[in-house]
Amino acid sequence: MQKKLLTLAVAGALAAPAVSFAQSSVEVYGYLNMSFGYWRHKDATDQTASPDVSKWDVTSAASNVGVRGRETLGGGLSAWFQVETNAALERSNNVAHTSGFASRNSAVGVQGGFGNVFVGQWTSPWADLDALWAIGTVGGFGPVTSIIGRRETTGAAPNANCSNTGSGVGAAPGGNCDSVEAAGGVGHPFWRRMSNSIFYQSPVFAGGVQAKLAYQTNQDKTNGGTGIIAQNPYMYSSSLQWAGMGGRARVGVAYDSHHDFTTIGKSDTGYAIKGGWNFGVVDIGLAYEVNTYKTPASDCKAKQYAIAAAIPVGQGAIRASYSVAKDIEGTYTGAVVNTATGSTGSCGPATVASTGGGTASGSDNGAKQYNIGYDHRFSKRTTLGFGYATIKNDAAAGGNQFVWSGMSSTQNGAAVTAPNGSDISVIFANIIHRF
């Protein structure tokens, strides 16, 4: 009864003055994912600046609350909306743990026999493919947005003329057009929640095939001028997926093109193949992706792959994943690619300080991640679990690339961004409640 009253209250708040509210349905919903765990951050490349630390923490993994509704328009058409916000059920000194209203999948659209067209902010078709294979995670500590996808980004394309997230600060063309690159390496996340975007999802055709397309607009396009960099940042994301045999078999491919993200005048590209097969006694998922970042003189290529498994046990499952981010391949020469490394270097940081005053190779910038745990679904709403997870960063792999979202602050006690080479592990107990 309380939920019905809350739904009616939200519906009333959304109704415009003097306009009849005619939604067929409006729903308040949420997903609360909380963990209590023992964290270890150790073996940073520079132990003097970043000594080992162990601690306890309560963390929130993609917890959210939202409101959504649908109205039947007739002729097979319906209009719909969704507004979803992060629900960080814990506070932190790290501002990265907070976010504004409608920070997650939020859009308005029209759906019919032709498919689904909507505008707003939503996960890209590339990111949506992870639902096909990522069945090996307990709580929030798995490979998606830590290794696979090379972490996550939400928002607009980079803007070289301002200091927004993932941008430069007035650097020359070819400058720091991405937050990871600005920290001393090349490579931005391909797992994205695209803002300022228009999306299309086809119907699920006979045989279980569906296509998805998305375009992030070039809202920050400029033609130059005094003190202004000429740029045209935008991106496309696309995927084609199939599910059959009662959902036991599924596979999908994705292709992305990100213009003016790393180097102005060039497009970074990527492709991914992801899927799985449920054998009954075990469900197996596989993922492989390649990201190509365009520097002024050459390509920098990143490859990631992973395997996931879920073994049913009673009302729950043992879940596990193993994933690898290979070193970014290639070198760049010529125009300055990022201010930290100068005009020539590897596709990772050129030099990384280590204990004793030496340096680590900038090409040693990959990572491995694995996790195992058990979760028990008491009902369709409540799941309890426990597990262990770790990310082992190479000597020049900073946490800009390889950490979990919403995890405990690292060695310096404030940032989620781990220092170069830091290995991160957690033993945790987890509760998920859906409403």
The SS3 of residue 313 is strand
Q: Which residues pair with 332 in a beta bridge?
A: 345
Of 322 and 60, which is predicted with more confidence? 322
Helices and strands counted in the chain (H then E): 3, 22
pLDDT averaged over the chain? 83
Nearest to 122 by CA among 111, 99, 106: 106
Token representation of residue 433: 């409640």
**What is the band of 399 on the pLDDT scale with cuts at 50, 70, 90?**
low
Of 211 and 155, which is predicted with more confidence? 211
Of the listed ranges 84-93, 299-308, 355-364, the one predicted with least confidence: 355-364
> Rounded CA gap, 178 and 187, in Å?
8
Q: Angle at CA 233, nearest 5°, toward 229 and 234?
A: 170
- Read off the pTM: 0.86
Token representation of residue 74: 């007739």
Whats the size of the chain, residue-wise? 435
Phi, psi of 400 (to 5 degrees): -55, -30
Is the separation of the CB atoms in 336 and 343 below 8 Å?
Answer: yes
pLDDT per residue as tens digits for the range 322-334: 999 998 887 654 3
Is the separation of the CB atoms in 348 and 186 below 8 Å?
Answer: yes
Task: Give the CA-trace dihedral at 223, 228, 230, 235, to 10 degrees.
Answer: -110
The pLDDT score that the predictor gives to residue 411 is: 84
> Rounded CA gap, 247 and 249, in Å?
5
| Domains, in order of start, for the chain | 34-434 (2.40.160.10)
pLDDT per residue as tens digits for the range 100-141: 788 899 999 999 999 999 999 999 999 999 999 999 999 999
